């Protein structure tokens, strides 16, 4: 397969950056998208040029590291997959593929296609946890009866891998889907209710501090999320926050 890649190149956070065109040949349909970039980087290195920097780790859709905007969509044209799960058979010989980093003020570009998503870590640190005494008296979580539907909803919310596709897809660069998933996974469980009020206040405050945009319910985040995180979580966060505000 012969392709034309238009890739965002940016030396560092201060550099303005630009799109650079790379023709590439010999791409097999069974290669993953990241393997195709590996081939490109091998070519670039063999020519003495700087390889394209991009995030990746597990390459099996679990870690949430890969974060490319491919032809105008986060993780490319397929649904419910990450960039590392996207295969080149989804493209045709002769195609031009535009590859950009996830764009958001809160996700500054570090280099080329790699962005700093530590804003998500700080939101998580603001309240995305439960305080448990681990001094030897820990109660087995399974000893607490939980309705199956709540357990399932909490698990579905916890499936968020924090890749940032929701922010990348949203026209407002809002992080509501991520934050709401992290709020929901605890809000639905008895262990999480104890700190629910402070959790939602702190996480939303941190989300706003990071400079993400406002959610306008376009639903793009849900469609582009590789883990299918539902907008129901955003409604739950809204309820949680309103309730927390009323409690003062």
Instruction: Name the segment binding other proteins (CB under 8 A); options: 131-139, 155-163, 185-193, 211-219.
Output: 211-219
Instruction: Name the segment binding other proteins (CB under 8 A); options: 58-66, 141-149, 153-161, 197-205.
Output: 197-205
Q: Which residues pair with 96 in a beta bridge?
A: 4
Q: Which of 100, 123, 156, 196 lies at the binding interface for other proteins (CB under 8 A)?
A: 100
**Calpha distance 166→39 (Å, rounded):** 28
Instruction: Name the segment binding other proteins (CB under 8 A); options: 44-52, 96-104, 147-155, 188-196.
Output: 96-104
> Shortest Cβ distance from residue 159 to other proteins (Å)?
18
Binding of other proteins by 119 (CB under 8 A):
no
Binding of other proteins by 23 (CB under 8 A):
no
**Calpha distance 183→175 (Å, rounded):** 12
**CA atoms within a 13 Å half-sphere pointing along the CA-CB vector of 72:** 3
Nearest residue (CB) to other proteins, 13 versus 45: 13
Q: Which of 59, 90, 103, 122 lies at the binding interface for other proteins (CB under 8 A)?
A: 103
CB-CB contact of 205 with 153 (8 Å): no
Q: Is residue 248 classed exposed, middle or buried when 0-12, 13-18 and 19+ CB atoms within 10 A define those classes? A: exposed
> Shortest Cβ distance from residue 231 to other proteins (Å)?
7
Q: Which of 45, 152, 217, 228 lies at the binding interface for other proteins (CB under 8 A)?
A: 217
> Shortest Cβ distance from residue 91 to other proteins (Å)?
15
| Residue 72 neighbours by CB distance under 10 Å | 10
Which residues, at least 6 apart from 76, have a Cβ–Cβ distance to it below 8 Å?
A: 33, 68, 70, 83, 86, 90
Q: Is residue 200 classed exposed, middle or buried when 0-12, 13-18 and 19+ CB atoms within 10 A define those classes? A: buried
Q: Is residue 60 classed exposed, middle or buried when 0-12, 13-18 and 19+ CB atoms within 10 A define those classes? A: exposed
Binding of other proteins by 223 (CB under 8 A):
yes
Residues contributing to the site for other proteins (CB under 8 A): 6, 8, 17, 19, 69, 71-73, 77, 98, 100, 103-106, 169, 171-174, 176, 201, 204-205, 207-208, 211-220, 223-224, 231-232, 234-242, 245
């Amino acid at each position: 397969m012969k392709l034309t890649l238009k890739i965002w190149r940016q030396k560092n956070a201060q550099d303005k950056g630009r799109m650079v065109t790379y023709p590439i040949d010999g791409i097999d349909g069974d290669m993953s998208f990241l393997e195709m970039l590996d081939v490109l980087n091998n070519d670039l290195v063999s020519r003495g040029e700087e390889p394209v920097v991009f995030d990746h780790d597990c390459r099996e859709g679990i870690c949430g590291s890969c974060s490319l905007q491919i032809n105008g969509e986060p993780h490319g044209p397929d649904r419910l997959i990450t960039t590392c799960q996207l295969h080149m058979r989804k493209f045709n010989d002769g195609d031009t593929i535009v590859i950009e980093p996830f764009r958001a003020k809160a996700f500054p570009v570090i280099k080329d296609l790699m962005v700093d998503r530590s804003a998500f870590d700080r939101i998580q640190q603001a309240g995305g946890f439960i305080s448990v005494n681990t001094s030897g008296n820990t109660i087995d979580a399974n000893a607490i009866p939980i309705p199956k539907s709540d357990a399932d909803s909490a698990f579905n919310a916890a499936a968020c891998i924090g890749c940032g596709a929701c922010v990348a897809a949203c026209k407002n660069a809002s992080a509501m889907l991520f934050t709401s998933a992290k709020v929901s996974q605890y809000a639905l469980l008895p262990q999480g209710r104890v700190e629910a009020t402070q959790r939602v206040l702190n996480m939303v405050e941190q989300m706003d501090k990071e400079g993400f945009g406002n959610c306008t319910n376009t639903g793009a985040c849900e469609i582009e999320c590789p883990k299918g995180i539902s907008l129901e979580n955003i409604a739950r966060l809204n309820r949680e926050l309103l309730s927390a505000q009323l409690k003062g």
